[in-house]
Amino acid sequence: MSALQRDLMSKGLPPKGITGNMPEKKLPPGKSFAPLPWEDFFDSKTAVEVDRDQFNVYLKGSSGPVFFFLHGGGYSGLTWACLATELFARCECRCVAPDLRGHGLSKCANEEDLSVEQQIKDIVAIVSRLFPSSSGDAAPVPVIVVGHSMGGALAAHSVAHIIEKVKSVHVVGLVVIDVVEGSAMEALSGMTTYLRSRPAHFDSEEEAIKWCLSSGTVRTSKAARVSMPTQVRQREDGKFHWRINLLRSEPHWAGWFSGLSRTFLAAAPPKMLVLAGTDRLDKELMIGQMQGKFQTTLLPRVGHAVQEDSPDRLADELARFAVRYRLTVAKGGIQFNSPMC
């Protein structure tokens, strides 16, 4: 059972009616729920122009391999904020985290086309514009593509296209976080009910952060305070509504995950699959794992938003992966936590 499926079940879904409430945890009194600025985690942000579209991208670091992060549906580039800080402390690297189409601060002419084909085009264009070809003999920029949930599927689907079309970079690694084709396809049947069960709006960003924590959507306050504000947007009524209506993306859900196992296994770079607890691997992945085609890492006691619930553990695993394949070097004196599998 995937973390997403467990999270859906733990919230009592599907509820009796489409407006059913999620069970809430009590939050400690006196705790701050004020939003945290992106500047606390990233060095800068930039707007990448692609035709009529503008993609917001967060950046950290100036040397070492690039960890190119792709967020899941409904999240934003700031879902990686805490992880970027932890990872940067562990190894020489750069972190690049875009807001994908229809998410965060990005502005696109058609924000509802979240098809896998369109998003692959977006990702390839963002990479090519951030790392343009040079006229000299500079070596291609090493890139490790990392994706969570929908972003994990997009990471696997886009790697071959980046390799083929962006000669200024060299994809040296692929990391997929908490998405397995079979489990993801099964979870889709409960997603409509889950999305309808969420609050339609919030009175403030602080209220959105409180809901995020009390509902168990994210389990760490720091991550929720930097990530959640970019998932909502204030409208004319003064309320904070969801930045993207994920229900309208339902026609694309199956396309994100269909063929994911085969695509992941076929990807040329070294690969790692990070799972939030024990998940069921389908036949293709089980055979691939036994053949040593990819590394599996289990992170227990976290929810679906692995990068927000346990950024330190995930940073350990990503840094260890990069060091293992000699893609980077650990920063002086760093001792990684013991492996989880």
For residue 68, the surrounding DSSP H or E stretch is strand 66-70
Across the 341 residues of the chain, what is the mean pLDDT of every consecutive 10-residue run? 49 31 58 95 98 97 97 98 97 98 98 97 98 81 97 98 96 97 90 94 98 95 98 97 96 96 97 83 90 93 94 96 95 61 40
Distance CA 215, CA 25 (A): 6
The pLDDT, as a whole number, for residue 9 is 42
Write the CB contacts of 107 (distance below 8 Å, at least 6 apart in sequence): 53, 54
The pLDDT, as a whole number, for residue 28 is 65
* Neighbour-count burial of 338, counting CB atoms closer than 10 A to its CB (0-12 exposed, 13-18 middle, 19+ buried): exposed
CB 305 within 8 A of CB 217: yes
The pLDDT, as a whole number, for residue 282 is 84
The pLDDT, as a whole number, for residue 327 is 95
Write the CB contacts of 327 (distance below 8 Å, at least 6 apart in sequence): 65, 142, 144, 172, 173
Active site residue 252: no
Question: Which pTM value belongs to this model?
Answer: 0.91
What are the chain's domains?
Answer: 3-16+40-201+251-324 (3.40.50.1820)
* Residue of 71, 76, 304, 309 marked catalytic: 304
* Residue of 178, 279, 309, 316 marked catalytic: 178
The pLDDT, as a whole number, for residue 335 is 62
The pLDDT, as a whole number, for residue 336 is 58
Active site residue 103: no
For residue 60, the surrounding DSSP H or E stretch is strand 53-60
Active site residue 312: no
Q: Sort strands 232-234 and 201-202 into parallel, antiparallel or unpaired.
A: unpaired
* Residue of 128, 149, 158, 183 marked catalytic: 149
Q: Which residue has the tokens 């339902």?
A: 250
